[in-house]
Every structure is written in C-alpha cells, then in structure tokens.
Amino acid sequence: MLTVPQEIYDAIVAHARKDHPDEACGIVAGPEGSDRPERFVPMTNAERSPTFYRLDPDEQFKVWKEMGNRDEEAVIIYHSHTSTEAHPSRTDITYANEPNAHYVLVSTRDTDKLGDFQFRSFRIVDGEVAEEPVTVV
C-alpha cells in the first residue's frame, strides 16, 4: 500500500496537468528503507512527448547522487499518461528497474475532473505488475 501526503499527491497531479499534452515525470524521495515519500522532485521528460517519457539523464544522475548523499531513495517514480488510463504500458514495465519503488501513474486524458482512477500506484518487479491501494493523508 502507498501512503502519500496530500501535498505530494497534489504536486504530482499539478505537474502532470501542467506538462499536458506531454507526459510529465519525476520522483518522490524518502529516507532509505522507510517507504515514506517526503521530498517531491519534478523532473524533465527528455522526450517531450505525449506518448513516452524518459528522465533527463543528466538530471537523473544529479538527483540520484543527491539522494545518495542524503541517505534517500526513490520511494515513488511517477509519470502521466495523456490519452490512456493510468496503467503501466509494456514500455513502462520494461523500464521499471527500482524494485522497492511505487510506480505512480496519473491520467490527464480527462482534464475536467479528477477521479480515483486517474491516480494509481503499482509495484513492478521482474516484469510483474501489481496494483496497490493508495491512501492520501
């Protein structure tokens, strides 16, 4: 189960909506081994695409180095889908390489309302996808 603070939930959704029609992406860092998302880090989609995302490699290197220096890890890795539901694509599954992370997807295909279906979290390990409940506190 993913427990996420309201302000981080809101920040992820706002980032996804701001970058629409392109996919948005980023991470939420937290203390290593804690499973607590605490520090919102919006990142640049190097592809600048409505159908694909890739974390900017230079930015990713900097963020991961900073997390290491702060004894943090990526608790959430998020991105948006602009015209499909919030569910991992085959490409998303292929690129999921952080087994301890929660993979959050936000759908911006319906920008007039925000429903639970638009913000979903998954665990992706060795190509296996399992949706998990999300609690906003």
Sign of torsion, CA 55 38 131 104?
Answer: negative
CA distance 67 to 63: 6
Flag whether pLDDT at 31 surpasses 60.
yes
Q: What is the pLDDT of residue 117?
A: 57
pLDDT value at 45 more than 60: yes
Helix (H, G, I), strand (E, B) or coil at 88: coil
Distance CA 10, CA 31 (A): 21
Taking the model in full, what pTM does it have?
0.92
Query: Which residues lie closer than 8 Å to 11 by C-beta, 6 or more apart?
Result: 40, 42
Please say if the pLDDT value at position 76 is more than 60: yes
The fold of the 2-136 domain, in CATH, is Cytidine Deaminase; domain 2 (3.40.140)
Mean pLDDT over each residue of the chain, to the nearest integer: 92
**Separation of alpha carbons 42 and 88, rounded Å:** 19
Report pLDDT digits (tens) over 85-119: 889 999 999 999 998 999 999 998 876 555 555 89
> DSSP code of 45?
B
Structure confidence at residue 85 (pLDDT):
86
Q: Are strands 2-4 and 25-31 parallel, antiparallel or unpaired?
A: unpaired
For the chain, the structural domain boundaries read: 2-136
- Phi/psi of residue 62, each to 5°? -65, -45
